[in-house]
Amino acid sequence: MRLNHYTTISRFVLLAGLGGVSTGYADDLPAPVQALADQGLEIHGQFDAPGGLRGYGASVQGQDMAIYLTPDGEHAVVGTLTDSEGNDLTEAQLDEHVRAPLEAQTWQLLSESHWIQDGDVDASRVIYTFTDANCPYCRQLWQDVRPWVEAGKVQLRHIMVGILAPDSPGKAAALLGAGDPAATLHAHESGQQEVEASAQPREIEEQVYTNNQLFEELGLYATPTSVFQRKTENGNVRLDRIQGMPSDERLIDMMGSEAP
C-alpha cells in the first residue's frame, strides 16, 4: 500500500488499543474521573489547572484529551480550556502529560519487537520500519536509504509483518528464522534472491504474530511505516512517523540529513 501523506505521531497517541489506567492513578482517581476510566479512557497523569480545576491527561482509541475535575470533586468535563483571551491552555498539558510519555512507551515497544538489523549497529540514527516481504514500496524504501545505511549513518530495524498476501506471514517467518536474517533480507530486497515462505519453529511464527499485533494496536495501515526520533525546537526528543513511501523531502527528515 502506498500513501504519500504523513502523520506526525505527536498529534495522535500511538498506543491505541494498549490501554488501561496508568500505574499510580488506578487506585486514587476521583469518582467522576474513575467513571471515565471504567468506560475505557486511559488516565496518564495529573496537572494543575486554573479556576480551582484539576486536570488529567487521558487518551482513548488513539486520541488524546484533557479531563477537568470541578472544585467540588463531583463532576468532570472533557474538552479544551481557554482563558479570557481565547488562548488554549490544554494543548501544552496534553503534550507533556500524554504524548511525551506515550511516545517513550511506544519507542520501547518498538525496540522490544522482532526486527532485522539493516546497517551499522553503532549508527547514530535508528529507524524502525514495518516491512512486509511482499511490499514493493518496502523494497523501494530499502533501496532509497542505501546511501545513509552504507555510510554508517543510519540503522534501519525492519519489524517483519505478514499482512499483504496469504504467504506474507510465512515469508516474514522465513526471514526472521534465517541463519543470517540481515543477509537474507538484503538478498531479498535487492532482488538477488527472493525469500520463500517456509515453516519455522513455533517461536519464530509467534514473533510474526506479535509483530502483526503491534502493527494493528498502533493503528497503522500501510507498509512501510517508519518511526523515528526527532528533536523539537526546545530540544526535546519526540517521535515522528511516515506511513507509506516518503516524499524526497520527508526522506531527508527521516534520515536526518541529505544523502551522504
Per-residue pLDDT tens over the stretch 102-143 = 888 899 999 999 999 999 999 999 999 999 999 999 999 999
Residue 11 has pLDDT above 70, yes or no: no
Model confidence at 26, pLDDT cuts 50, 70, 90, reads low
Last residue of a domain, one of 66, 99, 132: 99
d(Cα 146, Cα 152) in Å, to the nearest integer? Answer: 10
d(Cα 44, Cα 34) in Å, to the nearest integer? Answer: 12
107 lies in some domain: no
Buried b (16+ CB within 10 A) or exposed e, 115-126: bbebbeeebebb
Model confidence at 7, pLDDT cuts 50, 70, 90, reads very low
Q: Are residues 130 and 165 in the same domain?
A: yes
- Cis amide leading into 169 (omega within 30): no
Which residue range forms the structural domain that includes residue 121? Answer: 113-255
Q: Indicate the range of 26-35, 78-87, 192-201 predicted with least confidence.
A: 26-35
Residue 168 has pLDDT above 80, yes or no: yes
For the whole model, what pTM was predicted?
A: 0.81
The residues near 236 (Cβ < 8 Å, ≥ 6 apart) are 100
More confident residue, 111 or 101: 111
The three grid cell numbers given for residue 213, joined into one nine-digit string: 499485533
Q: Supply the pLDDT for residue 179.
A: 96
Last residue of a domain, one of 99, 132, 163: 99
Mean pLDDT, the chain, whole residue set: 88
Domain count, the chain: 2
CATH number of the domain where residue 176 is located: 3.40.30.10
Total residue count of the chain as it appears in this document: 260
Q: Are residues 168 and 192 in the same domain?
A: yes
Q: Are residues 25 and 131 in the same domain?
A: no
